[in-house]
Amino acid sequence: MMTRRGFLLGGAAAGTLALSPSAAGPLPPAVDTLPADAPVRRLTLSAAEMEVPLLGPGRPATRRFCAYNGTPLMRLRAPRGTRLKVDFTNRLPSATTVHWHGIRVPYLSDGVAPITQEPIPPGAAFAYDVPLPDPGFYFFHPHCDETGQVGRGLVALLMVDDPAEAKVPFDLEHVIVVKDWRLGADGQFLEMFTDEGASTAGTFGTVRATNGAVVPPRIEAPAFGDVRVRAIVADATRVIDFGCDTEDAAILACDGQAIPPILLDTVPDGVWRMGPAQRLDVHVRMPGPGGEVKIYDYRTAEPYLLTTLVAVERGKKKRPFRPLALPVAKEVPMPDLKRATRLEFLVQTAAGAIAVAPSLPPDDPLAKALIDSVCVGDKTFWAISRNSWGAGADLRLPPPLETLKDGQSYILSISNVTKHPHPMHLHGHIFRVLSSSRKKMPQYLADTVLVEPNESVEIAFKATSGNWVFHCHILEHMDSGLMGWFRVA
């Protein structure tokens, strides 16, 4: 059950090993994305194991489930412009960190060992400074043994509300967390990382679930009312085709960033493909009393029901469907496309990956720190342009994929030459998805983009000082080489 890394991380040694800045080279300055006098909210956060009846009543409860603050799939919300001061304590039996996915935090609060902090050993604490400059739908999760800890449930949602959104007259918000559980018949977690999975599409759960439960939610909403559906794929592996059985539905935001609404019916096949870590906001108009809207993942041979919305009489009148646009945030730094530097990266299998940094002797304390902190599996199956994040006996932190200049704009062309889709995520930035070699699509802002086999996708962003990882969000892929980093200085 416990991985080799888990054992190493469980030891007290991790606590005594100060992270040497030399592991990542000189530390660039960290950038605050809110004014110093922004309103502060304190959050006491801990991660711990608990027992949860994942399979439902009458079935064995699952031990060693991981949750923040004792709440499975915890949800938080805060207004845009707030600074969260997070006092985090690790009550897990192994090391962890907290990564604020999609949020433009100063990189020293980004939670990535060993390039932004050292791992937090069991019993230890860490303070995170989390400014929330941009409204949107975010989440947080460990960036250490993700495959194991996220696989066992350690994910929480963070909605950052724009005060201007309050004027958009939704009747109801419904959140859909897509996350399967990998359980044996006895209700206990199975090994999350398998070589067969990690080297292909990933290891799937054994039971599907929405919002943690194996029975899809049935939610009442006002007949003819307007529902804001907010979906996230928090699974380690699964890619879904989000869709529903009504024409009156429109996409409002990707990764929490508002776009001019797009009728779901007008996108290819009427579905929006989403990989791990991707979020989608959709406006659904309810039918008349007694009617239902069913939301599905259409990617599986048999569409999988994610949620049923049931229309109940609340005195609302029928009227033509017009999507309710969300206010577009203006805080995200926009790239200057005319002056952008173009960089090309290949997502590929590790065959042919070359060793770029010298290996360290295994008894070097830095080598131990790397085993503890690079937070990767024992195997290397994937690479970004022939760089694989060190794994197993390969005790090296790879050099940055590239050193970027603070404030400079970049266009990354990401080409997938493997047989599997890869949701590619860049830390610390919200980027503009410019184009795909395979499909016509609107431009939108995101922090994670799905790159299909034989597809090249172009993204653009304005670089912010820091050490930032760039990786696939299929967790076994990132844990087996599909991760690199940029130094921005």
Interface with ligand C2O (CB under 6 A): 99, 101, 141, 143, 277, 425, 427, 469, 471, 473
Strand 125-131: give its sheet, edge to edge. 62-68, 40-52, 83-90, 125-131
Closest listed residue to residue 168, CA positions, set 324, 320, 285: 324
19 binds Cu ion, rule: CB under 5 A: no
State in angstroms the smallest separation of the CB of 33 from Cu ion: 28
Q: ω before 261 within 30° of 0 (cis)?
A: no
State in angstroms the smallest separation of the CB of 427 from ligand C2O: 6
- Asked if 269 contacts 304 with a C-beta cutoff of 8 angstroms, the reply is no
- CA 105 – CA 129 distance, rounded (Å): 7
State in angstroms the smallest separation of the CB of 66 from ligand C2O: 15
Q: Segment near Cu ion (CB under 5 A), from 89-97, 148-156, 177-185, 467-475?
A: 467-475
422 binds, among ligand C2O, Cu ion, none (CB under 5 to 8 A by kind): Cu ion
Q: Segment near Cu ion (CB under 5 A), from 180-188, 216-224, 282-290, 419-427?
A: 419-427
450 binds Cu ion, rule: CB under 5 A: no
422 binds Cu ion, rule: CB under 5 A: yes
469 binds Cu ion, rule: CB under 5 A: no
CA distances to 154, 242, 301, 337 from 211, in Å:
13, 15, 22, 39
Nearer to ligand C2O, 272 or 485 (CB): 485
Indicate which single residue of 9, 252, 474, 488 sits in contact with Cu ion (rule: CB under 5 A): 474
State in angstroms the smallest separation of the CB of 44 from Cu ion: 34
- CA 27 – CA 399 distance, rounded (Å): 14
426 binds, among ligand C2O, Cu ion, none (CB under 5 to 8 A by kind): none
Nearer to ligand C2O, 143 or 368 (CB): 143
477 binds Cu ion, rule: CB under 5 A: yes
CA atoms within a 13 Å half-sphere pointing along the CA-CB vector of 138: 30
State in angstroms the smallest separation of the CB of 346 from Cu ion: 13
- Which residue type does 32 have? D
99 binds, among ligand C2O, Cu ion, none (CB under 5 to 8 A by kind): ligand C2O
Nearer to ligand C2O, 62 or 448 (CB): 448
State both tokens at 67: 């949750």
Q: Segment near Cu ion (CB under 5 A), from 137-145, 278-286, 386-394, 476-484?
A: 476-484
State both tokens at 209: 């679930």
Closest listed residue to residue 281, CA positions, set 334, 223, 328: 328
State both tokens at 173: 């918000």
Task: Provide φ and ψ at 260, rounded to 5°.
Answer: -60, 130
Nearer to ligand C2O, 297 or 447 (CB): 447
- Which residue type does 273 have? R
State in angstroms the smallest separation of the CB of 323 from ligand C2O: 28
- Asked if 261 contacts 236 with a C-beta cutoff of 8 angstroms, the reply is no
State in angstroms the smallest separation of the CB of 477 from ligand C2O: 12
424 binds Cu ion, rule: CB under 5 A: no
How far the first Cα of the chain sits from its last, in Å, is 41
Q: Which residues bind Cu ion (CB under 5 A)?
A: 422, 472, 474, 477
